[in-house]
Amino acid sequence: MRASIVIGAAAMIAAIGPLAHAQQPAADSPRLNLVCTGTDTMVVAMNPYYRTGRTSYSGGMVFGEGRSPAQLGVLVENGQVRVKPPKGSEPMFSKDANAGWYDLTDVAIDRLAIKGRLKWNRIDRSKLVIDRRNGQVTFGNFAGVCQQVSSAPDATKF
């Protein structure tokens, strides 16, 4: 009786063993370095009474939201995702970055998408979603397209 229990337990461990290793990222998994170009929102101050090159200061300023060109860096390595957001995306009171790079939490990497969250502070949060089929990315108010960058130091693009 005891021998059958030991053999059954050994068979179960052998069956579950490969599944446990498949969920963990491999130590030698490829490093994915992405540069994403697109646009990000910014606050714009406008004078509503600007006509024919003359400025009227009686009306005051109106603040609005516009879009400006921006660049986002994404680094995927060993199941961890780090982002280097545009300076305009960072809230006023954000946590400290390591040379501009922030680690994401709630990371999900699969064949079709890369997802994660960044908690800037107690209030502000941003969500990263990258579609791996076409390279489209959204991160907070940033929207753009990603391209892979070679990690070899002597590699050239063209």
pLDDT tens for the 158 residues of the chain, in order: 444 444 544 444 454 444 443 344 444 557 899 999 999 988 777 766 655 566 555 556 677 778 889 999 999 998 899 999 988 778 777 777 788 899 999 999 999 999 999 998 888 889 999 999 999 999 989 999 999 987 777 878 77
C-alpha–C-alpha distance, residues 126 and 90, integer Å: 10
Residue 22 backbone phi and psi in degrees, to 5: -70, -25
pTM: 0.68
Distances (CA, A) of 84 to 21, 34, 119, 121, 153: 30, 10, 14, 16, 20
